[in-house]
Amino acid sequence: MTDSVKDEGVPEGFSLIAPGKLGFNAVAGPFHMAIQGGEAILAVRVDSHHLNPMGNCHGGVLATLADNQGYVAKMLAGERERLALTIQLSIDYLDSAPLGAWLEMKVRLLKVTGKMLFSDAVISNGNEVVARTSAVYKLVSLPNDYAG
C-alpha cells in the first residue's frame, strides 16, 4: 500500500472547501481554494487514494477537479444563491502528476449569461501543465432543502 501524504500540508493562502453532505467530493478531495492576485485557484494534493495503477494521479481525479471549476466560476460571477450544473466539460490530459504533487487549477470565467456560465482552466503541478479544460454550466436555484 502506498503511503499517505496528508501531512505534507497546504500552501499558505489556501482554505479547505467543505464537501457538504453530497458524498463524492468528500472522497475525491480534499479540495482547497485560494484567491491570489485576482485569480481563483482550486487545488488538491495527490494522495494515495488518487493514484492509478501506474502510481500517478488518476484521470478521473483530474476530471473531478476540472468539473469543480463550476464552483469557482460561480463564485467569480458572484453567484452564491444558485448552483452551477454541468452541461459540458472537456479535458485534455497533457502530463502526469505523481504522489505528493500539489495540483493547482487556475479558473478563468469567460462569460456569464442569465442562466449559463462559461469557463476554462489550466491544471498544473508547479511549472508543468497537467491538463487543460473548458466547461459550460447551467445556473439553477438552490432547492429549499439543499445541504451542500
Q: Is 1 contained in some domain?
A: no
- Global pTM reads 0.87
The three cell numbers of residue 140 are 439553477
Beta carbons within 10 angstroms of residue 100's beta carbon = 14
User: Is the pLDDT score of 130 beyond 90?
Assistant: yes
Q: Is 85 contained in some domain?
A: yes
The pLDDT of residue 1 is 42
Asked if 93 and 133 touch (Cβ cutoff 8 Å), the reply is no
Q: Is 148 contained in some domain?
A: no
The pLDDT of residue 48 is 95
Rounded to whole angstroms, the Cα distance separating 91 from 45 reads 19
Q: Is 87 contained in some domain?
A: yes
Give the three-state DSSP class for 95: coil
pLDDT bin (cut points 50, 70, 90) of residue 145 is low
Span 12-60, pLDDT tens digits: 999 888 766 557 777 788 899 998 877 889 999 999 999 999 999 999 9
Helical (H) or strand (E) element with 4: none
Q: Is 24 contained in some domain?
A: yes
Average pLDDT over residues 118-131: 96
Q: What is the CATH number of the domain that holds 59?
A: 3.10.129.10
Q: Is 89 contained in some domain?
A: yes
Residue 89: HSE in the Cβ half-sphere, 13 Å Cα cutoff = 17
Q: Is 146 contained in some domain?
A: no
Enclosing domain of residue 25:
6-141
Total tally of structural domains belonging to the chain: 1
